[in-house]
Amino acid sequence: MLAALEHILAGYLPYPAIVVDRHGELIAANGAFGLLVEGVAPKLLEPPVNVYRVALHPRGMAPRIINFGEWAHHVVQRLNWEALRNPDERLAALHAELETYVVPDRAVAADHLGFAVPLQLRSPHGVLRLMTTITTFATAVDVTLSELKLEAFLPADQVTATLLSRSPARSRLWAGAR
């Protein structure tokens, strides 16, 4: 199973892609994921890595996210939907934690699409504007595999595509994945 996931992740290079479980814990990531987590506190990157925490924690990616309010609302809302569909104490606790990082009652912009919130991230290479796609393995026979999600961070503009294609060569897998 891991070999197949590695193959899929490598196919997304030079764009970042990750595989997470239903609680947001990182199972695997391609080497370009390292670009997203540059500058994140090392403690947050110790396994098990929770990507939602890494994204929204003040010592995580949050200080580099230009549209933090909108992105954080998107992440917390998505996690809340998951917790409503599949009630779970761990998801509820994670949701409660993440809400402490977000400004309460943040108004959503009129042009908010919900499913397509761009991540605008400062990087040493320039501002990255990324759209995410999430793929589930819903038809998988293996229950463990059916609970995994592949999230790919694709360029939302040509500038980002160029920056990512010019970033230093990255290995197939990110070293911090379990």
Residue ranges per domain, the chain?
A: 2-138+148-166
- Provide the residue type at 175 as one letter: A
How many residues in the chain? Answer: 178
In the structure, what pLDDT confidence band is assigned to residue 112 with cuts at 50, 70 and 90? very low
The verdict on domain 2-138+148-166 having CATH code 3.10.200.10 is: no
Q: What is the mean pLDDT of residues 2-6?
A: 84
Residues of the chain above pLDDT 70, percent: 83
Category of 114 on φ-ψ map: left (φ > 0), alpha (ψ -120 to 50) or beta: left
Write out pLDDT tens, residues 126-158.
999 999 998 887 665 565 677 899 999 999 999
Q: What is the mean pLDDT of residues 65-75?
A: 92
